Chain A
Amino acid sequence: MAHDGCMSLNVEHAPIRTLPSAKPLRLLDNAGHALTGAATGGFTLPDRETLLDLYRKMVIARRFDVQVTALTKQGRLATYPSAYGQEGCEIGAISAIGSDDWFFPTYRDCVALITRGLEPGEILQSFRGDWHNGYDQHAYRTAAQATPLATQALHAVGLSHAARLRHDPIVAMTFLGDGATSEGDAHEAFNFAAVWQTPTVFVVQNNQYAISVPLSRQTHAATLADKAVGYGMPGYHVDGNDVAAMYAVTHAAVERARAGGGPTLIEGVTYRIESHTNSDDPTRYRQAREVEHWKRRDPIERLEKYLVSEGALSETVRSEITDAAEALAAKTREVMSVEAEPDPLELFDHVYSRPRTALLEQRSALEAELAAGAFAQHEAGDR
């Protein structure tokens, strides 16, 4: 096959042996001041237009997240894992890939999905409980949200490797949590990606807790980004509440991957302000003082301070963003106010491409039960 060497499976890249920075690299400090020097790891602050765009996306994403949490408390959703406080990680990273690239999210990444352009009703269908997934993977180039930890990272590696075999300039980005880095699949994904030099960007959102288990019970490594060195790939330890830094680092990793430079592991240090899901009780495992500490490190406020200090956030822009956020919230309320009526007979439709006799028999049995009114109470809404 006549093609340049970087497309061969046997990529000759020297293994990376440089440890990530001990301190999370950042471009804006918590007061919104632009940083220079060693703290930035050599990355430069994105231009103002990009920063405004990231700010806008974060504000809209948070409004969505808050709205969905409220709807969940009202019983409109079966469950919802909030990403409140993690918008710097979520939006910074997801904004670094294009619409032709692929995204492999976890259950916690609804705000990244909103940012990627998915509709609220499509995203929330699974959490409402009418089907396990509600959006078109191919249209959005976004895999179904993964629940089993780190499993989707391997899918991202495989897909991006396939794209490379086809000579398509596609990058796959996947999100993982701090807890997921303990899973065997995370290790296997990092290793396969590095050995095959796939165009994959791993974004580990270290939000300090895996449900209730703190990071100290998860790893003895100094940082999660340090793990990258063991695979021979670059790792970056980033302040995940600095959206500018998250964007700059992931954008560089995406472009490097696209150019045939192989995978990157990025750890964004952040914090989950809300509970794990609505059924969690975080007071059992963390101090209110700790939550307050992180609330003072809010990613949106940080960028807002910078933009205000630069005179880049006019009232017109603010109100436009607020309007867009409120419109999305209203749309979300509206779509979730409609009672879902999934068709029980659809249960049999998608298991196999070709219908199986046994499933058709079971479908007929359920159909007969429905016809006989066996679920009349359910259908009347009496749950």
Chain B
Amino acid sequence: MNADTTTAPPAAAEAPAPTQLTMAGALNAALRDAMAADDRVIVYGEDVGPLGGVFRVTDGLQAQFGDDRIWDSPLAESGIVGTAIGMAMYGMRPVVEMQFDAFSYPAFEQMVSHVAKMRNRTRGRVTLPMVVRIPCAGAIGGVEHHSDSSEAYWTSTPGLTVVMPSNPADAYSMLREAIDSDDPVVFMEPKSRYWSKAPLALPVTTAPMDRAEVVREGTDVTLIAYGPTVRTALEAADAAVDEGLSIEVVDLRSLSPFDDETVGASVRKTSRAAVIHEAAQFGGYGAEVAARVTERNFHHLAAPVLRIAGFDIPFPSPKLEEYHLPTADRVLAALDTWEWDA
């Protein structure tokens, strides 16, 4: 199964015919449907109103729902997240947008000190049903501060749920689930996949948000990917066929919590695993994946778990990003470093 052509559930009697939808369009539809279903859902951030967001994810929503449901806030990310906390305390379900990954950093304190901790601090009395959408990662030719992969900052913070869809169907389904969640969700959107298309009949419900999915079955290697690198993993799997290598690809979907069960089952089947991400390798999310997979599956492993990641450098300028980002070739070359039985 290709991650971009998720099979729709068995057609109900009145299910509309699938139409081609981009991930940005699927996210837009998810917001629209969530706002229509529940008037506690409110949306704000920078340029989300008349402009429809710099990636057009909120396109047309203000015209449909009005300025009291979706509006442009002052340009201050801590203010956006901090006020969303107060709104969630009052029973709203705010969905706020950080315009770019690196622009979320001013909100770090609110995220780490309050969003993540409020429920625990108050012994469950105050839950924060809020979603912080963060367009993330590179490969869009963005100038500095527009291509970071900051997921490890969030995943290393207990109390946060962190998810990242890789395809339009998951984008729709997971955003709806995130908005319905009683807990705060960091919803990371890989920018390079915004324009990827899939035929979708909405509303689509894919696997639960906290589950990883095997998006391609194989027998020799498990490639663990998420967000933008799912495509990279699938490309590597395609190319590996010629070399007689059968690669299984797991799309994590949820970074926190981590689906040990699905990943572990795959790794025990293939006995080899590698994790792929755009973020720098050192202290990156892949380190946690490699450690968990090793700790829990060591006696099933034929080789060390590999990390195929960005270099340990600040994200490069547009003309240099291709050297930094993991490619299918780089993935296959990494797999070649293992000792393989003749």
The interface of chain A, by Cβ under 8 A from chain B, is 1, 8-10, 131-133, 136-138, 143-144, 148, 151, 153-163, 165-166, 172, 184-185, 188-189, 191-192, 195, 346, 349-354, 356-358
Contact = CB atoms under 8 A, between A and B. Distances in A.
A188 B84 contact: no
B79 A154 contact: yes
B124 A349 contact: yes
Nearest to B71: A9
Contacts of A189: 79, 82
Considering residues B83, B113, B117, which has the most beta carbons from chain A within 10 angstroms of its beta carbon? B83
B322 interface: no
Interface string B156-175: 00110100000000000000
Contact of B87 (A153, A161, A188, A354): A161
Interface string B325-342: 000000000000000000
A162 B76 contact: no
Contact of A356 (B42, B125, B257): B257
Contact of A350 (B66, B114, B123): B123
7 contacts: A133-B122, A138-B125, A155-B89, A156-B86, A188-B78, A353-B183, A358-B258
B121 A144 contact: yes
Contact of B83 (A137, A157, A163): A157
Contact of B67 (A8, A153, A163): A8
B124 A166 contact: no
Given A163-B90, A353-B183, A8 B125 contact: no
Given A154-B85, A161-B87, A162-B92, A132 B121 contact: yes
B73 interface: yes
The 10 closest A-B pairs by CB, nearest first: A158-B86, A154-B82, A158-B83, A188-B79, A159-B86, A162-B90, A155-B86, A162-B87, A350-B124, A132-B121
Nearest to A349: B124
Contact of A352 (B78, B110, B159, B258): B159
Contacts of A358: 257-258, 260
Contacts of B123: 131, 133, 346, 349-350
Contact of B85 (A155, A166, A192): A155
B58 to A, nearest CB: 16
Interface in B186-203: none
A131 B121 CA distance: 7
A357 B262 CA distance: 13
B91 interface: yes
A302 to B, nearest CB: 35
A160 B92 CA distance: 12
A137 B67 contact: no
B82 A184 contact: no
Contacts of B60: none
A148 B92 contact: no
A188 B74 contact: yes
Contacts of B126: 137-138, 143-144
Given A8-B67, A154-B78, A353-B119, 10 more contacts: A10-B67, A136-B125, A143-B89, A154-B81, A157-B83, A158-B82, A161-B83, A162-B90, A352-B119, A354-B183
B68 interface: yes
B120 interface: yes
A133 B71 CA distance: 34
Nearest to A126: B121
A151 B114 contact: yes
B33 interface: no
A162 B42 CA distance: 10
Contacts of B71: 9
Interface string B85-107: 11111111010000000000010
Nearest to A348: B120
A160 B87 CA distance: 8
Contacts of A346: 123
